[in-house]
Amino acid sequence: MRTESIIVDNLKCGGCANTISKNIKALDGVNDIQIELEKSELTIECEDALDRETLLNKLSKLGYPEQGTSNFVQKATSYVSCMVGRMSDKEA
């Protein structure tokens, strides 16, 4: 088991954090995730078999790429992911 720390772009609020948490926890090999909104930092506990690239690809598809690598499409995607996260937070 290992811990990956990733600082991402476009992390704005609890809705974003909910979307990231739900989708990253769904990956095989992820045991836990902690999200620090103020720093845009994710700390992911995962099995050794799960590589960093898989995590980065999933985050990028959600609109939250590694810091300094985002583009317009990812920023727009993050707004949609944020709204989905906010809606699922209200359902809970």
pLDDT of res. 11: 94
Tokens 């954090």, residue located: 17
The fold adopted by the segment(s) 2-91 is Alpha-Beta Plaits (3.30.70)
Full DSSP string of 4-29? EEEEBSS--SHHHHHHHHHHHHTSTT
pLDDT of res. 82: 79
Task: Give the pLDDT confidence of 41-53 residue by residue, as tens digits.
Answer: 999 999 999 999 9
Name the residue ranges covered by the structural domains of the chain.
2-91
Structure tokens at 65: 């790429």
Tokens 């990231």, residue located: 20
pLDDT of res. 89: 64
pLDDT of res. 28: 95
Structure tokens at 31: 């045991």
pLDDT in tens, the chain (92 residues): 999 999 999 999 999 999 999 999 999 999 999 999 999 999 999 999 999 999 999 999 999 999 988 888 888 888 888 788 888 766 55
